A = this chain, B = another copy of it.
Amino acid sequence: MEDKVLLAHGSGGKLSHDLVEKSFLAKLGNPWLNMLDDSAILELSGRIAFTTDSYVVSPLFFPGGDIGRLAVCGTVNDLAMSGARPIYLSLSLIIEEGFPLSDLDKIVVSVQRTAKEAGVKVVTGDTKVVNRGSVDKLFINTAGVGFIPPGVNIAGSNAQPGDCIIVSGPVGNHGMAVMSQREGLEFSSLIESDCAPLNGLVGDMLKVCSSIHCLRDPTRGGLATSLNEFARQSQVGIIIEEAKIPVCQEVRAMCELLGLDPLHIANEGRLVAIVAGDDAESVLAKMRQNPRSRNANIIGQATAEHPGRVVMTTSFGTSRLIDMLVGDLLPRIC
């Protein structure tokens, strides 16, 4: 086998079969994937969550993760944010002719490890190879299927006045980790992406409170955009306190230097939850027991006032409106 991906690896013919067997089945193989039929056949019953995302992050490898880990976590987390237990993933790659097979292997191994960590199986897939210049190195799409346990009913439209807003940990790490690599900002080499599967954490939270109202992983657009989505979808106001929002020192410093707001920076291993006021302390206590969310915090409340808007009380005691991200901070963050 050559040491680079060839156009013929995407032809559907002999070399495609070789690539599937040597690069994918060898690492990701399971009874469904091994069938090599047009679809995987799954036994499912009940309320099923279904989601998809394409991943175009640049660079492919960044501190704390890579596109393979991202492609598993992103879709696992979208399922988890619906309260689902993620079970099955699809994996579709678009690869540029000439891409090193050794890098492809690293990415597939990362998919394998992260899928194991999240407890999901890759059951169906696709590989396309496009000529040089038609894609920047490699893009991945994953779709996911998960099971929503009875009694769980999570949606962006479920927030009620009086509910508490909880963030699972410091915000902005993923975006800043990728930006530091792209812009070659040396001082920021300490910042690692938070990229991680959150289904375990959501499972813990549902154990102490099956009636969580809203969950979202604040990826593109950051925490500010997720909170605005909740405010709009639920027609509530949201008031948050700046001092209570966890932000790592390095992220804060880099944001100040670059004139960015950490609330607009992407995360890939954080969640924001909205729960009834009475449940907030017990959910928070449970979250803090999980290593992924030791620094979780209640950052604010939903209110009946100013429905559809997010307001932040700053550390100086003033208030300001927090809008969705406008314009584009940094493309290809995920």
Contacts and interface: CB of A to CB of B under 8 A. Distances in A.
Interface of A: 6-8, 10-17, 35-54, 56, 58, 77-79, 81-82, 84, 88, 90-94, 97, 123-126, 128-131, 133-136, 139, 141, 143-146, 148, 155-157, 216-217, 219-222, 225, 229, 233, 264, 266, 323-329, 331-332
Contact of A13 (B93, B130, B225): B225
22 contacts: A8-B326, A10-B331, A11-B221, A11-B327, A12-B325, A38-B79, A38-B82, A38-B216, A39-B78, A41-B48, A44-B44, A48-B145, A52-B125, A52-B141, A54-B94, A54-B141, A56-B94, A58-B134, A131-B331, A134-B136, A135-B135, A139-B139
Given A41-B48, A51-B39, A78-B38, A325 B13 contact: yes
Contacts of A216: 38
B42 A47 contact: yes
Nearest to A53: B126
B11 A325 contact: yes
A122 to B, nearest CB: 10
Contacts of A52: 90-92, 124-126, 141, 143
Contacts of A128: 54, 56, 332
Contacts of A135: 56, 134-136, 139
List the number of copies, as a whole number: 2
B37 A146 contact: no
Nearest to A79: B39
Nearest to A214: B37
A15 B326 CA distance: 7
Given A56-B130, A143-B90, A41 B225 contact: no
Contacts of A229: 36
Contacts of A93: 54
**Which of A39, A126, A221, A264 is the most central at the interface, judged by chain B CB atoms within 10 Å of its CB?**
A39
8 tightest Cβ-Cβ pairs between the two chains A and B: A12-B220, A13-B325, A12-B221, A143-B143, A52-B90, A39-B49, A141-B141, A39-B51
